[in-house]
Amino acid sequence: MRWFFVFFFVSGFCSILYEIIWLRLAMSQFGVTSALVSIVLSMFMAGLGLGSWASGALIRKHETRIQFPALRLYALTELLIGVSAIVVPYELHWGRTLLESTSLSSSSSYYLASAAWIALTVVPWCACMGATIPVAMLAIRRSFIDESQRSFSFLYLANVLGAVVGAMLPLLLIELYGFRGTLKIGALLNFALAAGALVLSSQKAEQVNRASNAPAVSTKRAGGWTLLVLLFATGLTSMGLEVVWIRQFTPYLGTVVYAFATVLAVYLGATFVGSRIYRQWSRTHQNEGRLVWVFLGLSALLPLFFADPQFDIGKGFRLFFGLAPFSALLGFVTPMLVDRWSGGDPDHAGRAYAVNVVGCILGPLIAGFLLLPLIGERLVLIVFSLPWIAVGIYWVFMTTAMSGKKWDRPLAAGVALVSLLLVVVTKPYEAHFGHHEVLRDNTATIIATGEGMKKLLLVNGVGITFLTPITKMMAHMPLAFLEHPPKNALVVCFGMGTTYRSLMSWNIPTTAVELVPSVPKMFWYYHPDGPEVMKSPLSNVVIDDGRRYLERTSQQYDVITIDPPPPVEAAGSSLLYSKEFYTTIKQRLRPDGVLQQWLPTGDPVVHASVARALKESFPYVRVYHSIGGWGYHFIASTHPVPDWTPEQLVQHMPASAVKDMMEWGPESTPEKQFANVLGRGLTLDEMIAEQPKAPALQDDRPENEYYIIRRKWLKPRQWAWLW
């Protein structure tokens, strides 16, 4: 049995590793949108459920024909999972190439085609992952008959513990070896599992043959279909709440990959503790108290308190006590329900687990695309938790009335009272700003706050941008460097709309691409003339991932200006700095067009890797410190960029553009405004020299996003040696 624990610990680690990396690879191929993220995660979960159900059904139908050790079947599944680590990146790339050849332009048709290809790519391999538990349960039933009744919870416990490690360790491996290198490590682990299972099967062959004639395990299921309903509901609630947690705790954790990994690690770690408690409890108990379901509902409401900024709590305590109680209870009840319904039978366990997975698929879709845009985070928590409290209290009062034991009625009433207090006392995050406006959509919660030049834009509670002349120069500098009158321009990332508004001041057709639908709707808050600008026939605002838009469109532009949201370490931001992205941009620039790339101030590795990526992509690149000295403007082109003076740049500007550029200063004349930036120039080689061994930033090596090892544990020379 210890070997089975090792197998499923490593298997759980690899599964989370693949989920993290496959999601990211799919984003680089098909776009960074909420819909695509939901598609990938849904297909991943669908594959798990399908594999669990199908393998259980096949075992039930053909178990008597399986005369060889079941561990050999398990070895085959692990072998196929290892193959998937190598094959899936190529399949995703082939899918993108295929979609490009079809010239799909509409967003809906692109999503349908992307979803179909992702399903074909991910579902079969994930089905192999889902098949491992029923197959291993068969092996346990044949070899360890006394352990088979609780075999699902045993394997589930090991799998979750491996997933806890998989939530954090792969981030370090990605920093060292990139996405594909880390996938190869995962593949080697799966191959090792396959080899280990084969060796163990040969050693246990005689024992298996003797056990095959043992009497079948009783599969009487107490609770019937009620247990399946509960499994579906727990899956739906848990994954639906994860969507809410990300929005609620992002203001405290930030948008870096390590923040999301921490949420996942706390969730999985607490789930493991709950499962471990269940394993101990189930040795001497048969039925859980009805109060478990009441407390499950109460714990789902705890983020109302721990995500409320009016309470002064450390962010670590916020995250742990906000997520851990619910996750631990979930870790207790999920394996309990499957064990109870399956009775050790692989077929019944497979079906039960598949039902739970269906809930896991629907939960994020209902929470993210339906409830959050309509009612917000607070009410979504209430919607998901109150049914558990209501059902739990009903069960408590019914069972105590029948048994005569009424000691837990006051406790259930107390839970209901605490739940009510949580709803009444706590406030949403945005309520703690003075003057503010809020919009929600399926992607994010948008808060516009502040007055005058102190206005701020927050996405999921994180400050994205503020009113600054830096964003104006992102438009005026590249346009002024053109040797001919511009015909059009494109800005990726709308933000407050300042750069977009400045491009429009040149009286040219301007396209803005923004990922979050609610962001452009706040344009009026930051610029009173925003509604008029949006109504202009020259204006075109597109809700899409900027990279995906550039890959799909056939339009060419004189200027493309990129302003990724800070911080420079933000998850997914490297896709707007990579060599692969610059290859796409070159195809959408006219022969003498100009790219303006904005880079917030980062560490030497980030500066060097972005500079090297631009140097290897464009023959002509200039770099300037921005006004105020924070961040860098890169001016890149395949055509020589003229070495013009500030006076010459101003001469290329229409009067309306000059007026816009000088709206917020800081200089007194447009010539001085340009001189402020041109006088802060430096070369790409100077930036690369900050860390000369840093590789060019690529999709597979997002140096800006993965940084813990080099910042926390290694000196620059040691890090250079690793490269």
Q: Is the dihedral of CA 701, 706, 709, 715 positive or negative?
A: positive
Mean pLDDT of the chain: 89
What's the pLDDT tens digit per position in 686-713? 999 999 999 999 999 999 999 999 888 7
Please tell me the predicted confidence (pLDDT) of residue 97: 87
Least confident of 34-43, 161-170, 238-247: 34-43
- Greater model confidence, 56 or 207: 56
Residue 592, number of CB atoms within 10 A of its CB: 15
Residues 641-653 have a mean pLDDT of 94
Q: In what order do the strands lie in the sheet with 445-449?
A: 436-440, 445-449, 456-459, 462-466
Secondary structure class of 463 (helix, strand, coil): strand
Please tell me the predicted confidence (pLDDT) of residue 34: 78
Distance CA 302, CA 285 (A): 28
**pLDDT cut 70: percent of the chain above it:** 93
Please tell me the predicted confidence (pLDDT) of residue 217: 44
User: E strand or H helix at 539, and its extent?
Assistant: strand 539-543
Residue 689, number of CB atoms within 10 A of its CB: 13
Start and end residues for every CATH 1.20.1250.20 domain found in the chain: 1-211
Residues 398-417 have a mean pLDDT of 70
- Rg, C-alpha atoms of the chain: 28
Residues 123-144 have a mean pLDDT of 90
Distance CA 79, CA 642 (A): 58
Structure tokens belonging to residue 720: 């250079």
Distance CA 473, CA 674 (A): 9
Identify which of 116, 119, 46 has the alpha carbon closest to the alpha carbon of residue 362. Answer: 46
Angular region, 461: left φ>0, alpha ψ -120 to 50, beta rest: left
Please tell me the predicted confidence (pLDDT) of residue 215: 40
434 CA to centre of own chain: 31
Please tell me the predicted confidence (pLDDT) of residue 715: 64
- Greater model confidence, 412 or 642: 642
Phi, psi of 70 (to 5 degrees): -65, -20
Please tell me the predicted confidence (pLDDT) of residue 207: 47
Bridge-based pairing of strands 557-562 and 589-599 is parallel
Bridge-based pairing of strands 557-562 and 539-543 is unpaired
Please tell me the predicted confidence (pLDDT) of residue 431: 87
Please tell me the predicted confidence (pLDDT) of residue 290: 74
Start and end residues for every CATH 3.40.50.150 domain found in the chain: 462-722
**pLDDT cut 90: percent of the chain above it:** 68
**CATH T-level fold of 462-722:** Rossmann fold (3.40.50)
Residues 222-238 have a mean pLDDT of 86
Please tell me the predicted confidence (pLDDT) of residue 347: 86
Identify which of 634, 462, 583, 448 has the alpha carbon closest to the alpha carbon of residue 523. Answer: 448
What's the pLDDT tens digit per position in 606-626? 999 999 999 999 999 999 999
The pLDDT of residue 547 is above 70 = yes
Structure tokens belonging to residue 321: 């006590």
Please tell me the predicted confidence (pLDDT) of residue 723: 56
What's the pLDDT tens digit per position in 657-675? 999 999 999 999 999 999 9
Secondary structure class of 637 (helix, strand, coil): strand
The pLDDT of residue 209 is above 70 = no
The number of C-alpha atoms within 13 Å of 699 and in the hemisphere containing its C-beta is: 21
Distance CA 698, CA 721 (A): 19
Distance CA 551, CA 581 (A): 9
Residues 132-142 have a mean pLDDT of 88
Please give, one letter per residue, the 3-state secondary structure of 182-203.
HHHHHHHHHHHHHHHHHHHHHH
Please tell me the predicted confidence (pLDDT) of residue 126: 96
Question: In 558-603, which ranges are continuous DSSP H helix?
Answer: 579-588
- Greater model confidence, 67 or 721: 67
- Greater model confidence, 143 or 533: 533
Residues 50-55 have a mean pLDDT of 92
The residue ranges of DSSP E strands in 347-461, in sequence order, are 436-440, 445-449, 456-459
Structure tokens belonging to residue 308: 């409320």
Residue 407, number of CB atoms within 10 A of its CB: 7
Distance CA 493, CA 545 (A): 9
Residues 453-474 have a mean pLDDT of 93
At residue 35 the predicted structure's pLDDT band, cuts being 50, 70 and 90, is confident
Q: What residues form DSSP beta bridges with 492? A: 513, 562
Pick the CATH number of 1-211 from 1.20.210.10, 1.10.3720.10, 2.60.40.10, 1.20.1250.20: 1.20.1250.20
User: Is-contact 337 323, C-beta < 8 A?
Assistant: no
Residues 261-271 have a mean pLDDT of 94
Distances from the Cα of 574 to the Cα of 253, 266, 570, 606, 698, angstroms: 19, 26, 8, 10, 8
At residue 540 the predicted structure's pLDDT band, cuts being 50, 70 and 90, is very high
What's the pLDDT tens digit per position in 2-20? 899 999 999 999 999 999 9
What's the pLDDT tens digit per position in 554-590? 899 999 999 998 889 999 999 999 999 999 999 999 9
Please tell me the predicted confidence (pLDDT) of residue 1: 82
Distance CA 609, CA 596 (A): 17
Distance CA 634, CA 595 (A): 8
Please tell me the predicted confidence (pLDDT) of residue 60: 82
Secondary structure class of 490 (helix, strand, coil): strand
Pick the CATH number of 221-432 from 1.20.1250, 1.20.1070, 3.40.50, 1.10.3470: 1.20.1250
- Greater model confidence, 202 or 680: 680
pTM: 0.90
Residue 411, number of CB atoms within 10 A of its CB: 14
Please tell me the predicted confidence (pLDDT) of residue 116: 92
Please tell me the predicted confidence (pLDDT) of residue 221: 52
Distance CA 151, CA 157 (A): 10
Least confident of 94-108, 162-176, 509-523, 690-704: 94-108
Please tell me the predicted confidence (pLDDT) of residue 722: 57
Q: What is Dmax (Cα atoms) for the chain?
A: 93
Question: What does the chain come to in residues?
Answer: 723
At residue 234 the predicted structure's pLDDT band, cuts being 50, 70 and 90, is very high
